Amino acid sequence: MFLSMVNDGLKDEAAQVVQYATDKAIDIDYDLLFHRSIKDSKLNLHAFAHVMIAHPTAFSTQLRLHALRGCLGAKNYSAAIELFNHVEHDHPSSRTAELNKP
């Protein structure tokens, strides 16, 4: 169901499924779904990135970085920036920490 929503471009509905799965602690293999979806069509990356931006904690950092690279390759810069901001927020670099010192 989730994969067909992503493939059909139903981003908001797919994000609701992720929210439901997160709330109910349902274990979903997002890595497998992501790679299967992208294998079907590179256009699915935009929808998957939208879902990752809406629920960043549901996806591994590795998977979000993979999506970020895909967004950069597809010139979807707004999604790439959003994904980067979530990853940077989760794992701030030492340089960012130095810049934020008072």
Q: How confident is the model at residue 100 (pLDDT cuts 50, 70, 90)?
A: low
No. of H helices and E strands in the chain? 7, 0
Q: Where are the domains of the chain?
A: 2-99
If you search the block for the tokens 């992501």, which residue do you land on?
34
Chain segment 14-45, per-residue pLDDT in tens? 889 889 988 998 888 888 888 888 888 877 88
Q: How confident is the model at residue 77 (pLDDT cuts 50, 70, 90)?
A: very high
* pLDDT at residue 44, rounded to an integer: 83
Share of the chain above pLDDT 70, in %: 86
pTM: 0.73
Integer Cα distance of 83 and 63 in angstroms: 10
Torsional sign, CA 69, 70, 76, 80: negative
